[in-house]
Amino acid sequence: MLSLYFDNENKNEYFFVNNEWFSYPIGRSFIDLISVDFAKRDLSDESAIKTNPLLALFKDYMLINEIKQSNIDFIKTIVNYKIATDYVLNMDNEDFNSLEINTRFYAYQELFNNPLSGTNTVISHIPKPSNVTEIDKATSVIDETLPSEKDIVKKYKNCKFNLIEVYFVTTLEEALYLSFMKMVSSKVMVKKCKCCDKYFIPEGRIDTEYCNRIAPNSKKTCIEIGAMKKYHEKSNNNPILKEFQKEYKKMNARVRLKKITQAGFYKWSESARELRELALKSNWDEFKFIEELNKLEV
């Protein structure tokens, strides 16, 4: 059994499982789970699985080795949610992105004849303090007598609560359904990472193209790889940046061949960078830039 808590106002979800609390932005665990390629048994995302509270529901699959032998129904469910995510939540789905999110959900249901099974989960609501100090102040007043209506109103005058929705779920299918529908109703959209091709929920800038997972076969995150790629694309299109790159590599090679010292290289690269900024700012052509670059002492 797992309790799922949604704080709609702050777009957060909480899980209480095995006496431990997990707190994530709404949809994060769902997206991480459907991003694992169970069909290919590619479990390079072991860390994402281990910290995913949704899997606690899945007794038979709690151990990584057992997930590797996961059955076909489980894979079918995951695939269904991947498709649903693409049609309803994916900002990069060009056709469906022209529709409003609830309309997308309706259109998706018509297209696929509603393959997502619902839930019989009972919902309850808990008010969660949002300004704790005021509530502490109010509740610390010890009053033995029964408060009147007026007393109660006065006591809680400055208090604010968020209404938390609580669901107690027993199967993974229920949890996936609830998480997915919560993303739809909270309008939490996703994108497909241009590096690892997995869904992610953009945080901060909406035009982010990369997720912050560790990229496949790399120690760097997709964002870091994306930034490098962008820099290279930019420098390939800009003659000044291209020349700078070329010269930088040449100098770097000289350090390795011990023709110049590390300190000498450092000093050169500082001046070369300054020159590069000046060249970009003053719209030099690459010939003038090379000429000036050659004048730098090494």
CB 246 to Zn ion: min, Å: 30
Q: What is the dihedral of CA 124, 127, 130, 135, to 10 degrees?
A: -160
Nearest to 12 by CA among 172, 176, 210, 188: 188
Retrieve residue 63's tokens. Answer: 């151990």
CB 141 to Zn ion: min, Å: 52
- Residue 108 or 199 with smaller CB distance to Zn ion: 199
Q: Within a 10 A sphere around the Cβ of 91, how many other Cβ atoms?
A: 14
Q: Which positions touch Zn ion (CB under 5 A)?
A: 193, 195-196, 211, 213, 222
- Residue 31 or 193 with smaller CB distance to Zn ion: 193
- Residue 222 or 241 with smaller CB distance to Zn ion: 222
CB 223 to Zn ion: min, Å: 8
CA separation for the pair 207, 42 (Å, rounded): 29
- Residue 116 or 196 with smaller CB distance to Zn ion: 196
CB 213 to Zn ion: min, Å: 5
Q: 166 forms bridges with which residues in the sheet?
A: 5, 124
| Burial category of 88 from C-beta neighbours within 10 Å (exposed 0-12, middle 13-18, buried 19 and up) | buried
User: Are residues 81 and 50 in contact, defined by beta-carbon separation less than 8 angstroms?
Assistant: no
CB 225 to Zn ion: min, Å: 8
- Residue 101 or 196 with smaller CB distance to Zn ion: 196
